[in-house]
Amino acid sequence: MTTETLPQANSSVPANWLIRSISWLKEHRSNFSDLVVHAIAQVRIYKKAYVGVMHALIFWGVTIQVVGTAINLMQMKLFTPFELTNFPRDYAYLLYELIMDLAGVAILLGVAMAALRRFIWKPKTLDTQWDDVYALVILTLIPLAGFTTEAFRLIANPVEWANWSPFGNLWAKVLAAFGLSANAAANLHDAFFWVHVGLGLTFAATIPFTKLRHLVLVPVNVFFRPRKKEGELTKIENIEEAEILGVGTIDQFSSAQLLTFETCVRCGRCEEACPATFSGMPYSPKKLIQTLRASMTQTLIYGNGNGTHELLGEVLPEDFPWYCTTCGACLKKCPTFVNPIDEIIDLRRYQVLTTGNVQKSVSDVMRNLERQGNPWGMPAEDRVAWAQGLDIHELAPGEETDVLLFLGCAFAYDDRNKKVAQAFVRLLQKAGVEFATLGLDEACCGETARRMGHEYLFQVFAQQNIETFSKVKFNRIVTQCPHCFNTLKNEYPQFGGNYEVLHYTEFLAQLNLPWEKISPNGDTDLQKVAYHDSCYLGRYNDVYQQPRQLLKNANIDTVELARRYENSFCCGGGGGQMWLETDAETRINHRRLEEVINAKASCVATACPYCLNMFDDAIRSKGLGAEIQVMDIAEIIDQRM
C-alpha cells in the first residue's frame, strides 16, 4: 500500500465539533444563565429572608465542606503545613482550615434555624416527613463528627496555628478540660475519622431515596425546563389527529412534568400564595404535585400498577382541577420551577375533550362559545351594540389603520364593562388616535376556552382571528382585557400570529393625553383609590407601573394594598372561575375586598373586566356599595377629563 492510498485524517472534524459545541452553548445560554441564577445563586429562595439565610448557611456550608474534603483527600502539597515559614503555601493552608471551620459552623446554624422553624414555629403550609428529619440529623452529625475529629487531632498533636481552626480548637480545649489525654485522643482520632467518612458516604448514598435528591434534580429541572412565556400554555399539536387529549393517567404526563413532581421540595410557598388555598377551598398546588408524585412512584417506579388508574375520580376528586384560578402566584413563588398550572390544564383538557364529565356550568360556557361565539351566550350580532353613537370605524378587508382595537367579549357583551369600553374610546378620540375595530368580524380570542380545557375550540378561534387579521393592515393591536392581551401576545405566536400587542394602560401611558384638563383639586368621590394588580396583566406580563402612572397623571390620591405587584392577590375570576359557582364561604373576591377595606380605600381601580366584575359582586354581596366603588382606570381618567 502506498502513502497515496492511506486514509487521510479529516482535519475538519474537530473544527466542526467545536462549531457545533459553540452553537449549542449559544442556543442554551439562557439555560446556563438560569442555572447560575436559580440553582447556584438561588435568588428565589431569598424572597423569604429567614428561609433564605437558613438555606444559604446550609447550602454553602455543605458546598465548601465537600470541596474542602476533596482537596484534603487529594492531599495537595499547597495545603500541607510545616512550620509556617513558607509564604504563601503555609498560610494558604491556614486559610483553608479557617474556611472549613466556618463552613461547619454555618451548617449547624442553618440546621438549627431549620429545626426551629419546622418543629417550634410549624408553619401550616410546611409538612414534616421522615426524610425531613433525616436530612436535619445527618447534616448535624457530619459537621459535629468533623469538629470532634479535628479536636482529637489538635489534642494529640498540638500546633501553634490551632487558633486558625477556632471551633475545632475550642472543642479540643473542652475535651482536654475533661481529662482527655494525647494518647487517647490519637486513638479516638482514627476511629472518628472513619465515622466522619461513613457519615459523608451515607449522606451521598441516600440522596436518591430522600428529600436530598433535590440537590441533583433542581439544577436539572432548572436547566431543562420548557422555555416558554409564563402566560403561555402548551399547544396540542395536530389536535384533530391527536390520540391523547389532555391527561387521564399518570403515564400520559410528559417526562419534563414527571421530573417536576420529583423536584418539588414541599416547601409550601405555593400554598402560601394560592388564593384558592387561602380562601379555604379544597385545593392546594402542593397537594396536587405531591399526589401526582405519589401516583407516579407507585405506578411507574415501583410497579404497583401500570399507570392506567384514572387520575380524576380515583387519585384526585373530579372537581379538584376546577378550583385553580390559573393566577400564576405559585409559579412566581416556587424556588424549583414546578408549574402546577400545566397539570391543571392537562386534567381539564382530559375531562372536557375526552370524558365530557364536567360540571354543568362548564358545559354551559362551552355551549355558549360553540353556538354564540362568546362565553356570555349573547347573540353574535350584538358584539358591536356597545359602540352605537361613538362613530368608530370598522375595518373592511383590505383597509388599514394604525391601531386595531381588539375589544374582547367582556367589553362587547357585559353591561358593566360596556361603559369601560366607551370611556376608553372617548380617550382615544380625545388623543387623536387613528384606530378601528373589526366589528362583527372579531371573534372571541379563545382564552376562556383554553383555560377551561377546550383546546380544540381555542385553536378554532385563534385561527379564525389570525385569518381575519391577515385581511387588514395595522401597526399594533391594543386591547383592554388582560386575558385577551396575554392570549394575543403570548399564545397566538404558536399559530403564526406574531403582532405587537399592547394593553390599553401601556398604550395610554405612551399618549400625550390632555392631562392639563384634569382638575388640580381632584374629585371628592375619589380621594383614596387602591389599584388592584390583575394577575394576567402583572404576574404574567410585568405591567405594573403604567396603570399607577396613569392614576398619578390623573391626580388621583392612591393607596397600595397589602399584597401588590408580583405578590398581588387574585380577584378570583381567572381560569374560568368567572363562570363557576363558588361556595359563599370560600369566595376569593371577598378575601381580596377585605384588603381594600383594611387599606381604607373608597374606590378600587382595575384594568381588567373580570377583576371589575368580581369586585363589583363582592361589594354588592357585602352591602358596601355606599362606601366602596370599583372603577376601571379608563373610566376614572375619562371622568376626570
Give the Å distances, CA to CA, from 396 to 133, 386, 399, 437: 68, 19, 6, 9
Note the CATH architecture for domain 48-220.
Up-down Bundle (1.20)
Q: Mean pLDDT check: name the lowest of 120-129, 174-183, 294-303, 345-354.
A: 294-303
pLDDT above 60 (res 306): no
Winning range, highest mean pLDDT, from 66-75, 91-100, 304-313:
91-100
Q: Where in the chain is the domain with CATH 1.10.1060?
A: 230-357
At 181-219, the pLDDT tens digits run 988 988 898 888 899 989 999 999 999 999 999 999 999
Rg of the chain's alpha carbons, rounded to an integer? 31
Say what the alpha-carbon torsion angle 176, 179, 183, 184 is, to the nearest 10 degrees: -100
Residue 522 is predicted with a pLDDT of 53
Global pTM reads 0.89
634 versus 25: which is more confidently predicted?
634
Residue 304's pLDDT band (cuts 50, 70, 90): low
HEC profile of 408-462? CHHHHHCHHHHHHHHHHHHHHHHCCCCEEECHHHCCCCCHHHHHCCCHHHHHHHH
Q: How far lies 544's CA from each of 141, 151, 211, 560, 574, in Å?
A: 48, 56, 37, 12, 18
Between 299-313, 386-400, 551-565, 612-626, the lowest mean confidence (pLDDT) is in 299-313
pLDDT at position 78 over 60: no
- The answer for residues whose C-beta is within 8 angstroms of residue 512's C-beta and 6 or more apart is 431
Cell of 131: 426524610
Counting residues of the chain whose pLDDT is more than 70, the rounded percentage is 93
Bridge partner residues of 403 (DSSP):
435, 476
Q: Which fold has domain 516-640?
A: Rossmann fold (3.40.50)
Nearest by Cα to 144 from 177, 182, 174, 186? 174
165-179, 235-249, 519-533, 557-571: lowest mean pLDDT where? 519-533
Is residue 28 very low, low, confident or very high in pLDDT (cuts 50, 70, 90)?
A: confident
Q: Are strands 400-406 and 629-632 parallel, antiparallel or unpaired?
A: unpaired
User: Is residue 135 a contact partner of residue 210, using CB atoms and an 8 Å limit?
Assistant: yes
So what's the pLDDT on residue 94?
84
Most confident stretch, 6-10, 173-177, 401-405? 401-405
- How high is the pLDDT of residue 641? 80
* Grid cell in block for residue 96: 483553608
Sheet hosting strand 435-436, strand order edge to edge? 435-436, 400-406, 473-479, 501-503
Strand 529-531 to 435-436 pairing? unpaired
The tens digit of pLDDT for each residue in 285-300 reads 999 999 999 999 988 7
Q: What is the pLDDT of residue 244?
A: 85
pLDDT in tens, 218-236: 999 999 888 888 889 999 9
Mean pLDDT of the chain: 89
Q: Can you tell me the distance from the alpha carbon of 34 to that of 344, in angstroms, rounded to the nearest whole number?
A: 25
Mark out the alpha helices in 438-532 (DSSP H runs). Answer: 447-451, 455-470, 482-486, 504-510
Say if residues 264 and 293 touch (Cβ distance below 8 Å).
yes
Q: In this predicted structure, what is the pLDDT of residue 12?
A: 61
Q: What is the pLDDT of residues 98-143, one digit of tens each?
A: 999 999 999 999 999 999 999 999 999 999 999 999 999 999 999 9
Residues 629, 635, 636, 641, Cα dihedral to 10°: -140
Question: Which grid coordinates are listed for 601?
Answer: 380605600
- Separation of alpha carbons 107 and 121, rounded Å: 20
Cβ 479 vs Cβ 409: under 8 Å: no
Where along the chain do the CATH 3.40.50 domains lie?
516-640
Q: What is the pLDDT of residue 383?
A: 92
Quick one: average pLDDT of 147-175?
Answer: 89
DSSP letter (8 states) at residue 72: H
Residue range 230-357 forms a domain whose CATH class is mainly alpha
Q: CATH 1.20.950: which residues of the chain?
A: 48-220
Using DSSP bridges, classify how beta strands 473-479 and 400-406 pair: parallel, antiparallel or unpaired. Answer: parallel
